Structure 1
Amino acid sequence: MTESGNPSQPANVNEYTASHIQVLEGHEAVRRRPGMYIGSTGERGLHQLVYEVVTYAVDEHLAGHADTIDVTITADGGVRVADNGRGLPVEVEKPTDTPAIERELTELSFGSKPHAGYGVSGGLSGLGLCVVNALSSRLTVEVHRDGHRWTQEYEKGTPITPLTRHEETGEHGTSIAFLPDADIFETTWYSFATLSERLQELAFLNGGLAISLTDERPERPVRYHHSDGLRAYVAHLNPYPPSLVHSPAIAFESENQDATIFVQVAMQWNTWSTGGFRSFANSTRTHEGGAHEQGFRTALTDLVNDYARRQRQLSTHDEDITAEAIEEGLTTVVSVKLAHPVFEGSTRTRLSNPEAGAYVQEVVREHLTDWLDNHPDEAAAIIRHILNAST
């Protein structure tokens, strides 16, 4: 990233030389333009700091090394995120003789995480911990790894203590505590409700992962653990059993042969709401949808029309049921996990991987068709509901 000299002075092209170029690296670049990395310096960006640290812990879970994440809003207004994963690496790396953990917290290493081992990764593509560190007035990292406890402290992205080895331990995991920089953020007050909603969402999306949230301002502990995954998520979104067209929710999942795309779907029709669609890529909410949403909708529209005609609930002379009628009252959650996600825009709100859309189509056509064929009574009720919505 570059910045020209004093913007208040008129530019003189004859005096513009290399000495006028300022190269910003690491925490300096983040602190100069925080919005480029976390979206804003308001409440959204403030909470994004927590999500980035939590995402590192979720990645440990997805890699098979963590099943618990504990998030605490501390009494001083900071946040502490602890997991029982492998622990950030502490070995010294050549040629810089810098501990790997320090590089992770100070270097903008675009691409996959420097310490690797992640087939799927969310967050800012390996930048998350560095960005959080740069935008914190104080950050402390504690790691249990390689038979010892290790600690290091930072101020505004700069280490103020060396990585220090402490007593022996048989535990493993990482704990990161940080205080957002009041000179950067418009507010430093964390919303318990906002964090709680997102953490519960992550627990739904990552079945078997236990996530707790504690507020020390006063203490308000909650714990989320959903072994039923997306089916439990849809049940949470559809809280009125008498309005359900069918129960339980339809749920299925599949992974492609190359193990590069994992798809999970849960869906349920109801009569009390217009329905809603929530999609995720690597546990990140894709508010603007993208290939995975389009793949689902294309497959759903085609197969519902095909099934209705096969069951003679729709004649060969009837027009196709529209996508709008099919989705009336339908609550859907689609989650894809990809080795190489491609997002449009810096806020990561639209997934553009065509292979994700194609695979979601394939999975929905196969599994939803099987479900309809094997649940004829529920399937008939769904088609009747859809036909009523189309009139």
Structure 2
Amino acid sequence: MSEEASRYDASRIQVLEGWEAVRKRPGMYIGSTGERGLGRMVFEVADRAVNEVLAGRARSVDVTLMSDGGVCVADDGPGVPVDVAAGAGGPGLEALLTRPQVGTGPGGRSDVTLGFCGVGPFVVNALSRRMTAEVRREGVRWVQEYARGVTVTPLTEAGRATGSGTTIAFWPDADVFGAAEFSFGGLAERFRELTFLNHTLEISLTDRRHPAGSRAVQFRSPGGARDFVAFLDGHTAAPALTDTIAFEREDPRMAGAMEVAFRWRGPGEERVRSFANSRPTVGGTHARGFRDGVAAAVTAYARERRLLAATDPDVGADRIGEGLTAVVSVKLDRPEFGGSTRGVLGNSAVRACVGQAVQDHLGRWLKQHPERAAAVVGRIVQGAHRD
């Protein structure tokens, strides 16, 4: 090997910044360059619009899959600011769409991150052959156009505006995504989920890609987690053994609030879904707290009714799941996530807070509904004895 080939110094380090870095390694920002990555592109643009609704500045979000392969995301909020953003050297709208890590979300427990890691619409711009923005603000309509992360037209006043809001449309770059297409079902699943977890949120999704006709769905769920449980059980033939037990509670010890809903059906698989700040999780302290609370309430009831002998061990948290459907959602001021995909909640105080709340609510329900309680607790205890 020659000296030239083996030499390694600073001259061989390639530094990529801004849109170049995104286009060089798109998977680092949206996870993939297939269907999943395209979905995350939609979520990164919808993120800001959803948070406008949750902050009380807008009423609804409309997402449209257009016939020419583009996606349009619109909201009826006050409109993204168009004046010069501090430190950005340009209008706030342009900074949002052409610079990384610029956002307008309210922060804290009210903030929802829909995308991969909250990288923002700048990444979508960088991976799109074209992006357009329209802002209706304070009676004026503003427009601007971009391509592959770069501004191609100045922010232009385009006449008077009726109402207010922001509309962003983008067309993914075929050089990056090839022939991959957006999944209507995948987008619908996540938007439906968000409306279950946020009672005030309203999202419409329209698909105009097919010549035979468009299809549209609208998501809104005032019933929250209770409605979510009913949806998860919607295709289950097994009869419900219990009512849906649902509650919401604020707990300053965990600097946040919880919403929990669950019920048992006849024999069947367990379906427990957990979320932290509206982010789907694969587990963590909130999920463990829920199981702790159910197991504690079942054990206390079983001992009181002498379904467990004094020498029998307590019912374990791993014994409660047959036929159980549950949604456990926490919203925290300072969530701590772990795992390679940040899918595990780590806030230690959450486990005890959720566990105690679940134990209290389930314990009261069991005492108030002795016949149904006997059916559920009896099945769990008998299962423990068989094992």
TM-score normalised by length of structure 1: 0.88
1:279 paired with 2:274, answer: yes
Is the counterpart of residue 244 in structure 1 residue 246 in structure 2? no
SS of equivalent to 2:189: helix
1:35 correspondence with 2:27: yes
Q: Secondary structure at the match of 2:40?
A: helix
Would the alpha carbon gap of residues 39 and 125 (structure 1) be closer, same or farther in structure 2, given more than 3 Å must change? closer
Q: What is residue 190 of structure 2 aligned with on the other side? A: 198
Q: What's the counterpart of residue 137 of structure 2?
A: 145
**Separation (CA, whole Å) in 2 of partners of 1:107 and 1:62:** 24
Match for residue 318 of structure 1? Answer: 312
Contact 2:139 2:162 in 1 (8 A): yes
Q: Secondary structure at the match of 2:283?
A: coil
- State the 1:275 CA deviation: 1.6
Farther off after superposition, 144-153 or 327-336: 144-153
Question: Contact conserved, 1:269 with 1:275, CA < 8 A, in 2?
Answer: no
**Cα separation, 2, equivalents of 1:10 and 1:253:** 64
The DSSP-based 3-state class of the residue aligned with 2:298 is helix
- The residue type equivalent to 1:68 in the other structure is S
- Cα-Cα RMSD: 2.4
Aligned to 2:209: 217
Deviations 1:233-257 (A, max 9, x none): 111111246511112x111112233
Q: What is the SS of the residue equivalent to 1:67?
A: coil
> Is structure 2 residue 110 aligned with structure 1 residue 154?
no
Q: Distance in 1 between matches of 2:69 and 2:321?
A: 43
How far, CA to CA, are the matches of 2:87 and 2:315 in structure 1? Answer: 64
Structure 2 counterpart of 1:369, from 344, 363, 373: 363
Offset of residue 267 of structure 1: 0.7
Identity %: 47
- Tell me which amino acid in the other structure corresponds to 2:291: R
Which residue does 1:360 correspond to in 2? Answer: 354
Q: How many Å apart are 1:332 and its aligned residue? A: 1.0
Give how far 1:77 is off.
1.4
Cα distance in structure 2, aligned partners of 1:355 and 1:131: 35
Secondary structure at the aligned position of 1:183 is classed as helix
Contact 1:130 1:157 in 2 (8 A): yes
The residue number in structure 1 matching 2:174 is 182
Q: Which moved more, 1:86-95 or 1:149-158?
A: 86-95
**Could you tell me how far 1:27 is from its partner in structure 2?**
1.8
Structure 2 residue 114 is the aligned partner of structure 1 residue 118: no
**Cα contact 2:277–2:331 (8 A) shared by 1:** yes
Aligned-partner Cα distance in 2 for 1:90–1:345: 38
Shift in CA distance, 381/136, structure 1 to aligned 2, threshold 3 Å = same
Structure 1 Cα separation of the partners of residues 253 and 349 of structure 2:
12
Greater alpha carbon shift after TM alignment, 288-297 vs 153-162 = 288-297
Q: Per-residue deviation at 1:327?
A: 1.4
- How many residue pairs get aligned? The number is 375
SS in structure 2 of the partner of residue 31 of structure 1: helix
Amino acid at match of 2:278: S
Aligned residue for 1:149, secondary structure, equals: strand
Q: Is the contact made by 1:328 and 1:389 (CA closer than 8 Å) also made in structure 2?
A: no
Contact 2:88 2:95 in 1 (8 A): no
Helix, strand or coil at the partner of 2:146: strand
Cα distance in 2 for partners of 1:307, 1:67 equals 45
Q: CA deviation at 1:346?
A: 5.4
* CA displacement 1:157-213 (0-9 Å, x = unmatched): 111112222333352222211111111124431122222222211221112322111
Deviations 1:348-381 (A, max 9, x none): 3222222333432243233333333444443333
Change in 2 beyond 3 A, CA 1:171/1:359: farther
Match of 1:363, SS state, is helix
Whole-Å separation in 2 of the counterparts to 1:54 and 1:70: 9
1:74 aligns to 2:66 (yes or no): yes
Partner of 1:3 in structure 2? Answer: none
Is the CA contact (8 Å cut-off) linking 2:85 and 2:95 kept in structure 1? no
Please give the secondary structure, in 1, of the residue aligned with 2:177: coil
Q: Is residue 299–residue 365 contact of structure 1 (8 Å, CA) maintained in 2?
A: yes
What are structure 2's unaligned runs of at least 5 residues?
none
Q: Is the 8 A contact 2:51 2:105 kept in 1?
A: no
Spell out structure 1 runs of 4+ moving beyond 6 A: none
CA distance in 2: counterparts of 1:190 and 1:38, whole angstroms: 14
Aligned AA (1:115): T
Q: Mean Cα displacement is larger for which, 59-68 or 341-350?
A: 341-350
C-alpha contact 1:72 1:80 (8 A) present in aligned 2: yes
Cα distance, 1:73 vs structure 2? 0.7
Instruction: Please list every run of 5 or more consecutive structure 1 residues that lacks an aligned counterpart in the other structure.
Output: 1-8
Residue 221 of structure 2 is aligned to residue 226 of structure 1: yes
State the partner residue of 1:102.
94
User: Is 1:263 the counterpart of 2:258 in the alignment?
Assistant: yes
> Which amino acid in 2 is paired with 1:244?
A
Aligned counterpart in structure 1 of residue 40 of structure 2, from 15, 40, 48: 48
Partners of 2:274 and 2:283 within 8 A in 1: yes
